[in-house]
């Protein structure tokens, strides 16, 4: 049966004791030691509790508990059909009016076996609709990260490009077209979903091509999955730093299945 928050029966003094106990390191360590106790409030959400009426104290306890229990450990999940493993460095949940803001920092990530050194995810305007399954809606998600140039080139080489990509000795990208015997040494940046290629050197059949013949116009990236937009991506030595935005993402998940997956150590299925 759904439960609702009645302001007439609630006093601020009821929140004092939980806050005091939450700030006690010994209590926090003991609380975080329970394998699944932090999931019990989430199970209540699935029963129909209105998330906009959750006390801020409960949100704080949950975020602190999850961080203490799982921080620094490798988690496995299935996200939008992709296999993901990563070390959870931080997880923050904040209330913004009737909605939530969720931020997380991840490291040593593998996205379908592709390496991403670091990733930061910031979800704005998060709303939960209780039920089976529980539905989640976000207003916008900002994702930023760092990947090595070598890892990015290896990823692109698996996408079926006509060009073969490699890394030059100075960190630039080398693109080869074997059929036309063309080799180009270039750098690339992305700003607001537009790819800009800066060609440093180009060769045809081993002969150097004058630079005045190798200018490349900016290339719009067009539609990306989930209507994502690459805000920026640029190379710094042997690393590529990038940031993208995903508008209004909706999904659903079963709280009971997530609880079972964590208890048994199986993969979390999200969305």
Task: Please write the tens of the pLDDT for every residue from 140-199.
Answer: 999 999 999 999 999 989 888 888 999 998 899 999 998 888 999 999 999 999 999 999
Q: Token pair for residue 243?
A: 């940031």
- The four Cα atoms 155, 147, 202, 230 give a dihedral, to 10 degrees, of 90
* pTM value surpassing 0.85: no
pLDDT for res 74: 86
Q: Token pair for residue 173?
A: 């990208």
- Are 11 and 95 in contact by the 8 Å Cβ rule? The answer is no
Pick out the chain residues at pLDDT < 70: 1-69, 130-131, 255-256, 258-271
Neighbours of 99 (CB within 10 A): 18
- Give percent above pLDDT 70 in the chain: 68
pLDDT for res 50: 43
Q: Is 138 helix (H, G, I), strand (E, B) or coil?
A: coil
pLDDT for res 7: 37
- Are 240 and 155 in contact by the 8 Å Cβ rule? The answer is no
| C-alpha–C-alpha distance, residues 112 and 114, integer Å | 6
CA angle 262, 146, 156 (to 5 degrees): 95
- Are 176 and 166 in contact by the 8 Å Cβ rule? The answer is yes
Give Cα separations from 56 to 19, 49, 62, 97 (angstroms).
Answer: 11, 14, 10, 11
- Phi/psi at 17 (nearest 5 deg)? -65, -45
| C-alpha–C-alpha distance, residues 126 and 130, integer Å | 13
CA angle 233, 94, 92 (to 5 degrees): 60
| C-alpha–C-alpha distance, residues 70 and 84, integer Å | 16
pLDDT for res 15: 37
The conformational region for residue 192 under phi > 0 = left, psi -120 to 50 = alpha, else beta, is left
Q: Token pair for residue 209?
A: 């091509």
Angle between helices 56-70 and 25-33 (to 10 degrees): 70
By C-alpha distance, which of 12, 16, 4 is closest to 52?
Answer: 4
């Amino acid at each position: 049966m759904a439960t609702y928050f009645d302001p007439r029966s609630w006093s601020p003094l009821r929140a004092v004791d939980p806050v005091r106990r939450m700030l006690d390191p010994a209590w926090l360590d003991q609380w975080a030691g329970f394998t699944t106790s932090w999931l019990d409030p989430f199970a209540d959400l699935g029963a129909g509790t209105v998330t906009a009426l959750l006390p801020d104290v409960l949100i704080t306890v949950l975020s602190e508990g999850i961080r203490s229990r799982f921080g620094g450990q490798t988690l496995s999940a299935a996200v939008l059909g992709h296999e993901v493993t990563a070390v959870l460095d931080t997880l923050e949940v904040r209330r913004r009016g009737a909605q939530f803001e969720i931020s997380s920092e991840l490291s040593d990530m593998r996205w379908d076996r592709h390496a991403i050194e670091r990733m930061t995810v910031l979800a704005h305007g998060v709303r939960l609709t209780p039920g089976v399954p529980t539905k989640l809606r976000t207003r916008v998600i900002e994702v930023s990260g760092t990947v090595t140039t070598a890892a990015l080139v290896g990823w692109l080489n698996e996408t079926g490009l006509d060009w073969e990509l490699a890394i030059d000795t100075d960190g630039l990208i080398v693109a080869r077209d074997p059929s036309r015997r063309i080799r180009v040494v270039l750098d690339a940046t992305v700003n607001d979903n537009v790819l800009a290629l800066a060609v440093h050197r180009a060769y045809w059949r081993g002969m150097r091509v004058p630079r005045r013949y190798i200018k490349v116009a900016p290339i719009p990236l067009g539609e990306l999955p989930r209507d994502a937009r690459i805000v920026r991506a640029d190379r710094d030595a042997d690393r590529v730093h990038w940031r993208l935005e995903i508008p209004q993402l909706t999904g659903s998940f079963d709280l009971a299945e997530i609880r079972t997956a964590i208890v048994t150590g199986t993969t979390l299925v999200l969305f």
